[in-house]
Amino acid sequence: MSARLPHALAAVLAGAVLAGCGSSDTTTVTAPGPRPQLDPPQAAEPVTGPPVTGELPGRTVRVGAKPEGIAVDPDTHVAAVAVQSPDALVLLDDRTGRVLHRVPLPGQVRHVGLAKPGGPFLVPVETADTLVTVDPATGRELSTTKVGNHPHDAAAVGDRIFTADEFGSTISVVRGGKLVGQVPADAQPGGIAAVGDQVALIAVRAYTVELFSASDRPRGTGAQSAGLGPSHVVTGPSGRLAIADTRGQALIVYDTEPRLRFRGRIALGGTPVGLASDPGRGVVWTALSERGTAVAVDLRGAKPRITKREKTIRNPFSIGVDTDSGRLVVASRSDGTLHLLDP
């Protein structure tokens, strides 16, 4: 366990006053209930829901068992999703639903990322302690690198790739296909996202968010509370961070300029898990796991606000967006399908 755990537990206690901190133009939304008493603290998990009834818009595509983790390359319109039995990365055209490639993987994956438009896809393989990179256009595996214990998510800044090593409580740094650095982080790091020349890290057992320098030896700037049980983080417009407070059934928003500063918290009416950012349209999409619903939150302006709700498939644990077309790609972990829809 990370040597930083005492600091992280202090942040957990501070989280009880989350709605009261930040600047005077903070959005304040009624809390979903008292902080759960978890001893020791535990990572938040999605809630499963009933089958979805009625006809869905768009199309569904069967891809394989337990699809989870989605990234979409806007240059090629290729969506990547990890599946199991066998473990693989499925690449498909998000315009037609046609499967293009199946890339074998050495273990199971929960998150898939994209380094930049045009690729590569970033595939942290949890059960193999490995980061795999894949070319969207060809499906070719570009590199395989050993990283920390149980890498859960990955993000890239320039030529560096950063993995959140969940069970090692570390951040690993990969450059040129080689491990070049590793530093401790708060207990059980989960989601990680690039923001300017930094990376934002969510610690899912410490319930914190922290910015780190995007260097071979990342340096933290100090952790703040990330809610009642965060799981995912993405970067939205103007460098704002959107955090899925999975246990708290809310989206939490932080500014990152000129420093990390709480901006607002908005109740979603369900359990958010996966996040997908569409900065050009000013929104972040999240999937409510037990409600079969995709929700758009506009992060522009002083107060985040919900602008759209779309019906989608059962148990949508992961969501992606083609930032060129705005098309959503949603994965159902329960029935092995992807839902492609235009909001």
For the segment 121-151, what is each residue's pLDDT rounded down to a tens digit? Answer: 999 999 999 999 999 999 999 999 999 999 9
pLDDT of residue 25: 30
pLDDT of residue 3: 41
Could you tell me which residues are beta bridge partners of residue 308?
296
Task: Report the C-alpha gap between 37 and 205 in whole angstroms.
Answer: 13
- Per-residue pLDDT of 177-223, as tens digits, reads 999 999 999 999 999 999 999 999 999 999 999 999 999 999 999 99
Q: Is 204 helix (H, G, I), strand (E, B) or coil?
A: coil
Cα→Cα distances 290→4, 49, 74, 271, 317, Å: 34, 4, 29, 7, 9
Q: Is the pLDDT of residue 249 over 80?
A: yes
Question: Look-up: residue for tokens 């008292």?
Answer: 34
Task: Output the domain CATH number for residue 209.
Answer: 2.130.10.10
Could you tell me which residues are beta bridge partners of residue 215?
none
Ramachandran angles phi, psi of 238, nearest 5°: 60, 25
Q: Domain total for the chain?
A: 1
Task: Report the C-alpha gap between 233 and 202 in whole angstroms.
Answer: 7
Task: Report the C-alpha gap between 338 and 294 in whole angstroms.
Answer: 13
The conformation of residue 220, written as its DSSP 8-state character, comes to B
Q: Could you tell me the residue range of the domain that residue 245 belongs to?
A: 5-341
Mean local confidence (pLDDT), 83-102: 98
User: 36: pLDDT confidence band, cut at 50, 70 and 90?
Assistant: low
Mean local confidence (pLDDT), 57-77: 96
What is the edge-to-edge ordering of all strands in the sheet holding 250-255? 230-235, 241-245, 250-255, 261-267
Kindly state the tokens that stand for 213: 């320098």
Q: In the chain, what is the straight-line distance between the N-terminal and C-terminal CA atoms, in Å? A: 42
pLDDT of residue 44: 84
Q: Which of 119, 256, 244, 115 is nearest to 196 (CA)?
A: 256
Could you tell me which residues are beta bridge partners of residue 59?
340
Kindly state the tokens that stand for 242: 């959107």
Type of residue numbered 246: T
172 versus 21: the higher-pLDDT residue is 172
Q: pTM here?
A: 0.88
Q: Is the pLDDT of residue 35 over 70?
A: no
Lowest-confidence range among 17-26, 82-91, 92-101, 225-234? 17-26
pLDDT of residue 45: 83
- How many of the other CB atoms lie within 10 Å of CB of 285? 26
pLDDT of residue 54: 81
Task: Report the C-alpha gap between 124 and 111 in whole angstroms.
Answer: 7
Q: Which of 192, 149, 207, 175 is nearest to 5 (CA)?
A: 207
Strand intervals (E) in 178-219: 178-184, 189-195, 198-203, 208-213
